[in-house]
Amino acid sequence: MKDKQALTEAPPNTSGVTRRSFLKAVTGTAAGIGISQVVNPTFIHALEKGLKRHPVVWLQGQGCTGCSVSLLNSTSPPIADVLLKIISLQYHPTVMASEGKDALGNLFAIAKEYKGKFSIAVEGAIPTAENGKYCIVGDYHHKEYSMMALLKELAPQAGSVLAIGTCAAYGGIPAAKGNVTGATGVMDFFKQEGIKTPVVNIPGCPPHPDWIVLSIAHLLEKGIPELLFFGENIHDNCPRLEAYEEGEMSEIISSPKGCRMDLGCKGPDTYADCFERKWNSGLNWCVDNAICIGCVEPGFPDASSPFYEPS
């Protein structure tokens, strides 16, 4: 995605979040990855000038809320600082206190006030069958809103849309074989509807909290990011690659050694930086205790199913 977004002119950062703690979180230095590997120096420079608050509304379609839970696991800086001080989270169905027509009224008021300058974070797929009736997200002045109708109304007014998680990016689990709801990812949905608002895909089921936070940071300071975290092949960088090359295969999932290809590992078909960034604040990652199931890939989950059988 090459289009550059006109960024919000927001008040200077008064968050008290230090540049150091923010950089640490967004670059994954806690997990041992250097900033130069994921962002270029002009971006660091932009952060030095001060972070800006940016209105974000978070909409949930067909998902499991795992993407929100993953983001809430951001620890450095604490997620409260990210959501309330770095960005200005104005609407989130899981964490906001308001509900019903007050909540939707607030959402529409924000879209009007910040027209062209706010971002929409979409979590979950958009069901398009039966005119969107499989996912009703609210009622406003006796008008029922489906996720599809809400996005059709709000997306053209937004400056950018973040498709958070594989469901929002590509359809994911709701779009898997057998789906009757017409579950669709944001980019495909926009194509169908002729919506031109730029979209940033942040796949993963769920996405790593750093992927979400750093993408937002990039959006605030540098505009729409190009490929950030999904350029490297898992298998080519796996600590078990040597075992693979020597034909030493794990036979059981609890085996601390050996390549897990025979157990169904989809690392060879998957591109993400999990092997280096790791999960759970750098503690471990899927291949340590199980296998990579290719959760960031456009064909997930059908293309990597059955998970525990070799492809």
DSSP label of 8: P
DSSP assignment of 124-165: SBEE-GGGGTT-EEEEETTEEEEHHHHHHHHGGGSSEEEEES
- Residue from 151, 265, 278, 301 touching ligand SF4 (CB under 6 A): that is 265
CB atoms within 10 A of CB 267: 27
H or E stretch covering 89 = strand 88-91
CB atoms within 10 A of CB 144: 12
Regarding 64 and contact with ligand FSX (CB under 6 A), the answer is yes
- Residue from 65, 106, 157, 233 touching ligand FSX (CB under 6 A): that is 65
Regarding 278 and contact with ligand SF4 (CB under 6 A), the answer is no
Q: How many residues bind ligand SF4 (CB under 6 A)?
A: 24
- Residue from 120, 234, 264, 301 touching ligand SF4 (CB under 6 A): that is 234
165 binds, among ligand SF4, ligand FSX, none (CB under 5 to 8 A by kind): ligand FSX
* Closest chain position to ligand FSX (CB): 63
3-state DSSP call for residue 250? Answer: coil
Regarding 241 and contact with ligand SF4 (CB under 6 A), the answer is yes
H or E stretch covering 184 = strand 183-184
- Residue from 240, 264, 276, 301 touching ligand SF4 (CB under 6 A): that is 240
* Closest chain position to ligand SF4 (CB): 267
Distance, CA of 123 to CA of 68 (rounded, Å): 8
- Residue from 39, 274, 276, 301 touching ligand SF4 (CB under 6 A): that is 274
Residue 4 sits at the vertex; the CA angle it makes with 230 and 167, to the nearest 5 degrees, is 40
CB atoms within 10 A of CB 261: 19
Catalytic residues: 64, 67, 167, 205, 235, 238, 259, 265, 274, 286, 292, 295
Regarding 173 and contact with ligand FSX (CB under 6 A), the answer is yes
Question: Smallest distance, Å, CB 268 to ligand FSX?
Answer: 22
Expressed in angstroms, the distance from the first to the final Cα of the chain is 31
Regarding 199 and contact with ligand SF4 (CB under 6 A), the answer is no
3-state helix, strand, coil in the chain (%, to 5): 40, 15, 45
User: Where on the phi/psi map is residue 136: left (φ > 0), alpha (ψ -120 to 50), or beta?
Assistant: beta
Residues 189-228 that bind ligand FSX (CB under 6 A): 205-206
Residues 96-155 that bind ligand FSX (CB under 6 A): 123-124
Interface residue list for ligand SF4 (CB under 6 A): 204, 234-235, 238, 240-241, 244, 259-261, 265, 267-268, 270, 272, 274, 285-287, 292-296
Interface residue list for ligand FSX (CB under 6 A): 63-67, 123-124, 165-167, 172-173, 205-206
